[in-house]
Amino acid sequence: MPEDARIAETLLTLARANVDASGFCPSDAARALAPQDWRPLIPRVRQVISRLQRDGLINVTQEGLAVDALGAEGPIRLSRPLH
């Protein structure tokens, strides 16, 4: 299982590379880290997303509205902050 620092690096790389206004899915990061067995990684990815969100390094939305990464149920989208 990848370390949290590697998960964070992958998330931030995807955020910088993503030019689509709709953002990207946490599963994109999980798939990049564990292509064959990515689903078990999702809870850990969400924990790292929560820390990045708290530090203002990533935006988390659901249906276009800002949400808490750990509190949101269902699919979320990620993007880089616009500052």
Return the percentage of the chain with pLDDT > 70, whole number: 98
**E strand or H helix at 4, and its extent?**
helix 4-17
Class of domain 4-79: mainly alpha
pLDDT tens digit sequence for 25-72: 999 999 999 999 999 999 999 999 999 999 999 999 999 999 999 999
Averaged confidence pLDDT in the chain? 93
Is the pLDDT at 20 greater than 80? The verdict is: no
Return the percentage of the chain with pLDDT > 90, whole number: 87
**E strand or H helix at 61, and its extent?**
strand 59-62
